[in-house]
Amino acid sequence: MKENGAYLSLDTYPKREGFVFIGEIATGWVRNIRAHVREGQRVVAKVIGIKKERDSITLSIKSVSEERRRATLQTWKNEQRASQIMRVAAERVGWDEQKTTTVSDEMKDAFGSLYGALEECAIAENALEEAGFEGKWIEIVTELAIENIVPPFVEIRGLFEIKVWGPEGVKAISGALQAAEDCAKGEEEVTLTCHYDGAPNYRVDIKAPDYPSAEAVWEAAQKVASEKIGSVEGSITIERL
């Protein structure tokens, strides 16, 4: 801390510092820098100048909007939380620090951030497998993500294998799929869509605000689809993906 500004350690550039002049601390006249910036405080700043010949970085705190500040701090908190979850997973799996770092970095590369990876696990239980990851550790990480992260929504997926050899044919199949989709009607923020995956397979995608809501609609969809096909000459096999 100096009378004309303050040095900040940069998270995005490890072992580097930037300097905030007193005029860039806050809007208006800053009489006492310590009233705005304290040692150990985490702040969000914008890079406004780089001088390569002096190897110096100039920063501004006042140029960062309140919305951006909050979003950036929340992102940092999310990453800290994600790192803690991975440490717990590592203890259960038996990884050392190097292995934990390696897997965490691979997840960041695949999903953009570690928190983003865990959030995807909380949304869709097979997110890591679909991203190409393998191993028994996936189950533990996914379980911890579901327990500790509240995603904006969750997704589950199922498969109907439908065969109709009676005269009802395509009409019966269409009726069963429509009945399944209707199970989501009236359910707040829940959607169920059926997709043709090549005869006789039909994928069922459910999006909901939480797993209990998604599972309830999935159970109802299985029941009505089975009843529809059971009333004609045909068969249905159901699988949870």
Q: What was the pLDDT predicted at 54? A: 66
Q: What was the pLDDT predicted at 56? A: 83
Q: Is the dihedral of CA 46, 48, 50, 51 positive or negative?
A: negative
DSSP state of 168: T
Q: What was the pLDDT predicted at 201? A: 95
Instruction: Give the mean pLDDT of 108-134.
Output: 93
Highest mean pLDDT among 40-44, 210-214, 235-239: 235-239
pLDDT higher than threshold 80 for residue 3: no
Residues 38-77 have pLDDT tens digits of 888 888 888 888 887 667 888 888 888 888 888 888 889 9
Q: Which of 54-58, 71-75, 96-100, 221-225 is least confident?
A: 54-58
More confident residue, 106 or 6: 106
Q: What was the pLDDT predicted at 239? A: 94
The CATH number assigned to the domain with range 154-240 reads: 3.30.70.1130
Q: Give the three-state DSSP class for 47.
A: strand
Separation of alpha carbons 128 and 145, rounded Å: 12
- Where are the domains positioned within the chain? 5-64, 67-148, 154-240
Assessment of whether the complete model's pTM goes beyond 0.85: no
Assigned CATH topology for domain 67-148? DNA polymerase; domain 1 (1.10.150)
Strands 56-60 and 17-21: parallel
Separation of alpha carbons 226 and 126, rounded Å: 25
Residues 142-195 have pLDDT tens digits of 999 999 988 888 899 999 999 999 888 899 999 999 999 999 998 888 999 999
Q: What was the pLDDT predicted at 67? A: 86
Q: What was the pLDDT predicted at 130? A: 92
More confident residue, 27 or 196: 196
* Residue 34's pLDDT band (cuts 50, 70, 90): confident
Distance of CA 78 to CAs 30, 81, 103, 149, 150, Å? 32, 5, 18, 10, 12
Q: What was the pLDDT predicted at 1? A: 56
Closest CA to 11 of 87, 76, 86: 76
Rg (CA), the chain: 26
Q: Which runs of E-coded beta strand occur in 115-219?
A: 154-164, 191-196, 201-208
Pair 180, 221: CB distance under 8 Å: yes
* Residue 233's pLDDT band (cuts 50, 70, 90): very high
Residues 122-141 have pLDDT tens digits of 988 899 999 999 999 999 99
Into which CATH architecture does domain 5-64 fall? Beta Barrel (2.40)
Mean pLDDT of the chain: 90
* Residue 111's pLDDT band (cuts 50, 70, 90): very high
- How many CA atoms lie less than 13 Å away from 83 in the CB half-sphere? 9
Distance of CA 222 to CAs 97, 169, 218, 240, Å? 44, 19, 6, 10
